[in-house]
Amino acid sequence: MTEVERRAFADRAEFLGDPDFVKVPVKTLVSDNYLAQRMKDYLPNSAGSSTATKAGIIKESEETTHISIVDNEGNAVAVTTTLNGSYGSRTVVAGAGFILNNEMDDFSVKPGVPNMYGAVGNEKNAIAPHKRMLSSMTPTIVLKNNKPYLVVGTPGGTTIPTSVFQTIVNVIEFGMNAEDAVNKPKFHHQWLPDEVFVERNFDAKVKAQLESIGYKVTTRGAIGRTELIQISGKKIVAIGDKRGDDAAEGW
């Protein structure tokens, strides 16, 4: 109980204040996952230390967002925009109201050294003046008979092209409706690490089959938050991914 109190007070010092003035992450602080995480380093047979015990880490989400739009003239727009990591470079442009990104992480700092999303590269993606870093962002418009058919994109770092690819294949090759194409479990491989990452609700039988033929399969959190619009003549179906707080609206 002493060790629980130690950690609770470390969190109080870091996160708590009048909620009319500051955002207190109450939901996370009382969640089973967070509390289990907090007690992970608890050793029943030795006293903890307040120097070693810091406040818990409450993860801010990465800062990329996607929007898919279609208007009644048939124009379509797919936009993905990114700050890259949490709060980008954490620098607000005074008076302008936006935060600077930390996109430099999308360059390869050294051949073979992974960036924040585990992506590796070589000199071709090395930092140089006036050069643009590689991006995984994949805002996509699929045309059918030269007219927009699917408008799609997502955040998710290196899982972005995966989510877009699988969503499109789900519709075009597997004949899924738009909702299933977005929401059914996804899986991801990015060369390195040599693992297939699957979402928690990925089919257990398929996972076992993959393992039996030699794949390393690792369960992870959500893959993407895909926004899909499907246009079939006058019918427009818009899906906001259930993985996030996404929404679809029509006027």
Binding residues vs ligand DON (CB under 6 A): 62, 64, 82, 84, 103, 106, 135-137, 155-157, 160
Q: Round to whole Å and give the CA distance between 186 and 217.
A: 13
DSSP for residue 148: E
Backbone φ and ψ for 66, nearest 5 degrees, come out as -130, 145
The nearer residue to ligand DON, 119 or 150, going by C-beta atoms, is: 119
Min separation Cβ 116 and ligand DON, Å: 8
Residue 15 CB-half CA count within 13 A: 20
The nearer residue to ligand DON, 125 or 148, going by C-beta atoms, is: 125
Q: Which member of 2, 28, 53, 64 is catalytic?
A: 64
User: Is 2 one of the annotated active-site residues of the chain?
Assistant: no
In the three-class reduction of DSSP (H, G, I as helix; E, B as strand; rest coil), residue 146 is classed as coil
For the chain, first and last CA: distance in Å? 55
* 2 Cβ contact list (under 8 Å, min separation 6): 48
Min separation Cβ 247 and ligand DON, Å: 18
The nearer residue to ligand DON, 107 or 215, going by C-beta atoms, is: 107
The nearer residue to ligand DON, 149 or 187, going by C-beta atoms, is: 187
Q: Round to whole Å and give the CA distance between 213 and 250.
A: 46
Min separation Cβ 115 and ligand DON, Å: 9
Amino acid occupying residue 155? P
Min separation Cβ 85 and ligand DON, Å: 7
Q: Which residues are catalytic?
A: 64
